[in-house]
Structure 1
Amino acid sequence: MLAPEQELLSSSKPIKYGELIVLGYNGSLPNGDRGRRRSRFALFKRPKANGVKPSTVHSTCSPQTAKAISNKNQHSVSYTLSRAQTVVVEYAHDSTTDMFQIGRSTESPIDFVVMDTVPGCHGKSGTLSSQSTISRFACRIVCQRAPPYTARIYAAGFDSSKSIFLGEKAAKWWCADSQMDGLTTNGILVMRPRHGFTCESKPGSWREISVCGNVFTLRETRSAPTPGKLVENECHELVDGTLIDLCGATLLWRSAEGLSRTPTPKHLEVLRWELNAARPQCPVGLHTLAFPSLECSSSPDHQPWAYLTCGHVYGWRGSAEEDESQSREEPRLEPGLEQGERECPLCRTRGLYVPLKLGLESGFYLDAAPPTHAFSPCGHVCSERTATFWSRLLLPHGAHGLCPACPFCMRPLARHRKSVRLIFQGTLD
């Protein structure tokens, strides 16, 4: 039994509902995590509840309707049906929930500011894109303040005047319970994996979430005026491993319980150390290879490279194979090969030859197994089950369809071989 002092210490520890991780940044934004602009955002229980829930519906153009719209102390959702009619739903304070808002806007109501993800992590993270497809007030997550701390997602967020406006062209409709509902312009999509976020995980179906939290099949196009079909047997609850697509950036929801089973950055560092301790060698240069730590970068001669068709790992194949005038960034094109391809000296297989980089965002891992597989064509290295799951998953590519991508950099994966098992020369194999 805990002593009174220990009980007080334990009760004062903040309760974490979960974390949101932006795909494509491998642990941190290009210019560093700052304030509400981060690659990873934790949701903690608030000192005071700020949740809201629907209350009064105003369906006629009355003084009460105009008052509800103009009242900056009253949360409301306005559905414009025509120039002459606007339905306003007032929201009342809910002392049982905490609300967190996500979007592109840097205004104070947004808790987590998310910008468009540029595949490869080379985007200027501090630049606001005028062509962004992410809504300024994209969505909100509402968490129950009491166990089991259920988190639910809703499309659209409240702005500085505590209002949500759905224009005349937005998809909207009356529900059976006399409530209005609707969809945002580019929509909020979610994918709940089957069997949770574990070694047995399999990708689920992508769905669209409405302003009221109802679940629909996808529209014909991302911004089509007609909603998909209502999926009555599915809910908007976030489970561990749920993916949330904002049309320009994709977030991964990790529950607090799920994170407790996930390898930590310290564990990934131990795996890196163990891999390097095995002293893998370049079969051509016969020198030892090593993955660099976060604090320092290894010499180019020690950087592991691999052929992404066969998986054989080397050091940089430089001076002996190429003219001294050739740069490391632009290897000489061998006869009969496509741009970027080379021939493996061990097995004569032809394929891309790229530097290997460890996947550093631990939240993307399904298990704590050693890093043995690399995504193609980016070369990010992770465990086999992690590579298999993400290789099978189709991720929204903005408003232009679905394709598998590396979670660490969001580069689309190769069509025929999305990942490869690495073959090290030395005691590793």
Structure 2
Amino acid sequence: MFSPSQEELCALNKEPVKYGELVVLGYNGSLPNGDRGRRKSRFALYKRPKANGVKPSTVHVISTPQASKEHQRPPQGLRSLPSLSNRHRGKSFETTAQCPGRSQSAISAKGHHSISFTLSRSQTVIVEYIHDKDTDMFQVGRSTESPIDFVVTDTISGNQNNDEAQITQSTISRFACRIVCDRSPPYTARIFAAGFDSSKNIFLGEKAAKWKNPDGHMDGLTTNGVLVMHPKGGFTEESKPGVWREISVCGDVYTLRETRSAQQRGKLVENETNILQDGSLIDLCGATLLWRTADGLLHTPTQKHIEALRQEINAARPQCPVGLNTLAFPSINRKDVVEEKQPWAYLSCGHVHGYHSWGHRSDTEANERECPMCRTVGPYVPLWLGCEAGFYVDAGPPTHAFTPCGHVCSEKSAKYWSQIPLPHGTHAFHAACPFCATQLAGENNCVKLIFQGPVD
């Protein structure tokens, strides 16, 4: 039978081709104060009406002290540089000789993108980029300037949005990374560290980690780095964690530095690429993004499916085994408000109850209680349905809760995220709940819930 491609389906429906979506970990469907403009919890990448991609063209070596001063900027140790795809590298570069009279302003006047590598006070290498009709470019970062398509700020663990918890100094780069998608099937998406600013430039200052590769092209890393992890087996029920790597400005793959901002780069990993896969994780040192391909999203549960699962649980009328009152998960649009019928659970054993005030143990932490069903002592928290469909690896019923936050999702989704080491700070890694970014704890990081049905 004829099976139309995504592009043909989109043409029939007059809808643009979707390359994929970026979903920020730590948000359960939307930002705490709501999604606004380019600042939201998920961002869809669609084929642009007109290609805006760029590819490297000419290399200019500027050796005059005057020109060198013009290119330096005070920013954070290292900014960013562009490069499109590995296939362009080293092939399309045309190198000019030492160019004392040629400056960045001359390149800017031509309206071209460029990457500046400041090697010393007296020498700067500028890689000029030209239009690429075959690719679309999308930029991600903390800046709200127009070149940034998806504005991302630091994720606060536990999804708290009070003033006390606000990040005082962000570790996310203003122009953190760029994703370049082929405009033709299979719409391959590649990630590169750093993004172009409003002047169409990426600047790597003297202190930035940068180097010249054996084939002659320049490359470098951003201050806190862009890390990527491709899961083994894609984003499915059988997926396993992959290995975290660092992506360079030109899209090469390196082992991690000793710390996020160390001057010494890791080792080149020649058999791996910067091509994003369904389920790839992108860490910007302050926020972690999940990449979902358009095809992967077609096999993922929808909001309607999750709502149907919620109604199915509530229709079974689970009861508190002690108070015998009926429990119910609140509606998705009230997912942050504790309600009277809210199910609560003892996370050490998984027994689900209604809220009660007994069971405190004076010799334990304040949030720990003794379960009246099995006498197990552990965290006692309200349960919340995981509403962000992009985090589910299957469409199974919500039977497991993360410890200690109480977000509920399918068994395989819970077990998948429980074994993913997410970057934390400058050199630590730990598993976290994808719905609220709370660090997971407990023997297995998640627990199977034990509901009691109605007794009548």
What's the TM-score once normalised by structure 2's chain length?
0.87
What does 1:106-121 align with in structure 2 at a 5 Å threshold?
106-121=144-159
Q: Which runs of 5+ in 2 are unaligned?
A: 64-98
Which residue in 1 is equivalent to 2:258?
220
Q: Partner of 1:99: helix, strand, or coil?
A: strand
In the other structure, the counterpart of 2:316 is 278
Determine the C-alpha separation between the residues in 1 that align with 2:338 and 2:121: 66
**C-alpha displacement at 1:96, in angstroms?**
0.0
The alpha-carbon deviation at position 178 of structure 1 amounts to: 1.3
Contact 2:403 2:442 in 1 (8 A): no
Separation of aligned partners in 1, 2:290 and 2:377: 35
Distance, in Å, in 2 between the alignment partners of 1:313 and 1:292 is 15
Q: Distance in 2 between matches of 1:44 and 1:316?
A: 45
Q: 1:412 aligns with which of 439, 448, 452?
A: 439
Gaps of 5+ in 1: 322-331
Of the candidates 49, 53, 59, which is equivalent to residue 57 of structure 1? 59
Tell me if the contact between 2:24 and 2:42 (Cα under 8 Å) persists in the aligned partners.
yes
Residues 240-282 of structure 1, C-alpha deviation per residue, up to 9 Å, x if partnerless?
Answer: 0000000000000000000000000000000001111111110
Q: Which residue of 2 aligns with 1:422?
A: 449
Q: CA separation in 2, counterparts of 1:72 and 1:343?
A: 71
3-state SS in 1 of match to 2:314: helix
> 1:427 & 1:412 partners in 2: Cα distance?
34
1:163 aligns with 2:223: no
Cα distance in 2 for partners of 1:40, 1:273 equals 25
Measured at CA, do residues 146 and 228 of structure 1 come closer, stay the same or move farther in structure 2, by a change above 3 Å? same
Give 1:181's match in structure 2, choosing from 219, 226, 234.
Answer: 219
Q: TM-score by structure 1 length?
A: 0.92
The correspondence for 1:28, drawn from 3, 6, 30, is: 30
Is 1:199 aligned to 2:237, yes or no? Answer: yes
Alignment of 1:312 with 2:363, yes or no, is: no
The corresponding residue for 1:337 is: 364
One-letter amino acid of the counterpart of residue 303, structure 1:
Q
Q: Shift of residue 353 of structure 1?
A: 0.4
SS of residue in 2 equivalent to 1:59: strand
* Equivalence for 2:71: none
1:329 corresponds to: none
Task: Give the equivalent residue in structure 2 for 1:328.
Answer: none
Query: What amino acid maps onto 1:426 in structure 2?
Result: G
Matches of 2:106 and 2:265, distance apart in 1 = 27
Residue identity opposite 1:232 in structure 2: E
1:95–1:274 CA distance, 2 compared to 1 (3 A)? same
Describe the SS at the equivalent of 2:234.
Answer: coil
Residue 326 (structure 1) aligns with: none
1:70 Cα deviation after fit: 4.4
Q: CA 1:113–1:177 in 2, change beyond 3 Å: closer, same or farther? A: same
In the alignment, is residue 239 of structure 1 matched against residue 277 of structure 2? Answer: yes
Shift of 1:401: 1.1
Deviation at 1:415? Answer: 4.6
State the Cα deviation string for residues 125-168 of structure 1 (Å, max 9, x = none): 9x995510000000000000000000000000000000000011
Contact residue 156 and residue 166 of structure 2 kept, 8 A: no
Residues 27, 371 of structure 1: CA spacing in aligned structure 2 closer, same or farther, 3 A cutoff?
same
CA offsets 1:50-78 (integer angstroms, 9 cap, x no match): 00011111123222244455437110000
Give the CA RMSD over aligned residues.
2.2
Residue aligning to 2:87: none
Structure 1 residues 194 and 7, CA gap change in structure 2 (3 angstroms): closer
Superposition deviation, residue 120 in structure 1 = 1.2
Identity of aligned residues (%): 67
The one of 357, 371, 374 aligned to 2:384: 357
Quote the Cα distance in structure 1 between the aligned partners of 2:9 and 2:320: 55
**CA distance in 2 between partners of 1:345 and 1:152 (Å):** 53
1:58 and 1:69 map into 2 onto residues whose CA distance is 10
Deviations 1:34-61 (A, max 9, x none): 1000100000000000000111111232
Q: Any conservation in 2 of the 1:101–1:110 contact (CA below 8 Å)?
A: yes
How far apart in 2 are the matches of 1:345 and 1:242?
A: 42
Letter in 2 for 1:203: P
Work out which of the residue numbers 35, 39, 43 in structure 2 matches 1:41: 43
Query: Which residue of 2 is the match for residue 324 of structure 1?
Result: none
Change (3 A) 1:9 1:148: closer
User: Aligned AA for 1:108?
Assistant: S
Aligned-partner Cα distance in 1 for 2:334–2:431: 31
Amino acid at match of 1:391: S
- Matched residues in 2 for 1:23 and 1:7: separation? 30
Equivalent position of 2:70 in the other structure: none
Amino acid in structure 2 at the alignment position of 1:45 = K
Choose from 107, 117, 128 the match for 1:90: 128
Q: Does 1:253 align with 2:295?
A: no
